Chain A
Amino acid sequence: MSAAFLILAVVTLVGACAAMMLRGLVHCALALAVAFAGIGTLYLSLGAQFLGLAQLLVYVGAIAVLIVFVILLTRGGDSDSPPLAPAALPITGILVAMALFAVLAWAVLHSFAMHPSGQPASPVTVRQLGTDLMAGYVFPLEVIGLMLTAALIGAVIVAMKEKQGTQ
């Protein structure tokens, strides 16, 4: 447990909490980008360089920007909805989440599989990743390519503006 891991974990968790608790939607999206970047650097510190950079590209570069676009398109940035009254604080959801965390933490701390197992895995090179993707995992790669194509076409069709009279 190094100091860098602790700092990255704290940054990630603070970003996630801010993304879930701030009032303004644009502020939430920016805090979300901070949390995603923290997770990406956690991957880097765990030895998964390619995955960390892919996380930065996909989440910080694409999904956070996409969320900001949708917030602006739905005019949520000007916060027309009244702020949450303190009496209507949804305590049930917070209690459920805390109970879930208690169960997970208990399971993690009491599991027999958590004992250290010698050497950690060595960092994987991009060359080996490419070889694996093109040799052993080529069918899942094709499937996920097809799924991404279908999802993007579907997203465009769903979000396309309907013409007058055509239902």
Chain B
Amino acid sequence: MTPLTGCLLVSSLLFAVGLAGALTRRNTILVLVGIELMLNAANLNFVAFWRFGHHAGPSTGVIFGLFSIGVAAAEAAVGLALILAVYRHAKTTDLSQLTGRPQ
């Protein structure tokens, strides 16, 4: 198994864990945490392909990863602010109570 294959397997496992969490947890904060894990898995792919890929430039993967981290930080800030606003409105962060679906 080459190092690139190992990195990609780790990142796909991380993505699957994040997806499972985002689909199954009922708390909005934990859904956001799952999305953050999926973003990190994609970031790990950028670095792995930069390190072991065929035609990578000298610093392309690192710069792509940096921009990705910046976008993820903005996304987390806006998402958590939205969760706070929803909590202030509905007094709960439980998704099944927010959608009114008895589950």
Count of chain A to chain B residue pairs whose CB atoms are closer than 8 Å in the complex: 224
The interface residues of chain A lying within 8 Å CB-to-CB of B32 are: 67
B61-87 to A contact mask, C-beta < 8 Å, 1/0: 111011101111111111011111101
Cβ B15 vs Cβ A39 within 8 A: no
Main secondary structure of the interface of B (DSSP, over half): helix
In the docked arrangement, what's the CA distance between A90 and B24, Å? 6
A115-136 to B contact mask, C-beta < 8 Å, 1/0: 1110011101000110011000
Cβ B65 vs Cβ A48 within 8 A: yes
Is B23 interfacial (CB 8 A cutoff)? yes
The interface residues of chain B lying within 8 Å CB-to-CB of A154 are: 78, 81
Main secondary structure of the interface of A (DSSP, over half): helix
Could you say which of B6, B71, B72, B85 contacts A9, with CB atoms under 8 Å apart? B6
In the docked arrangement, what's the CA distance between A140 and B54, Å? 25
Most chain A CB neighbours (cut-off 10 Å) among B50, B66, B78: B66
Cβ A36 vs Cβ B40 within 8 A: yes
Contacts A124-B59, A129-B63, A144-B71: A93 and B12 contacting too (C-beta < 8 A)? no
Cβ B85 vs Cβ A76 within 8 A: no
Contacts A16-B18, A25-B30, A47-B51: A108 and B9 contacting too (C-beta < 8 A)? yes
The interface residues of chain B lying within 8 Å CB-to-CB of A20 are: 17-18, 20-21, 24-25, 30, 33-34, 37
> Could you jot down 30 A-B contacts, CB within 8 Å?
A1-B1, A5-B3, A12-B10, A13-B13, A20-B24, A20-B30, A46-B7, A47-B51, A51-B69, A58-B69, A67-B32, A73-B84, A93-B20, A94-B20, A97-B16, A97-B23, A101-B12, A104-B8, A114-B4, A120-B51, A129-B63, A132-B63, A133-B66, A144-B67, A147-B74, A148-B74, A151-B77, A156-B81, A158-B82, A159-B85
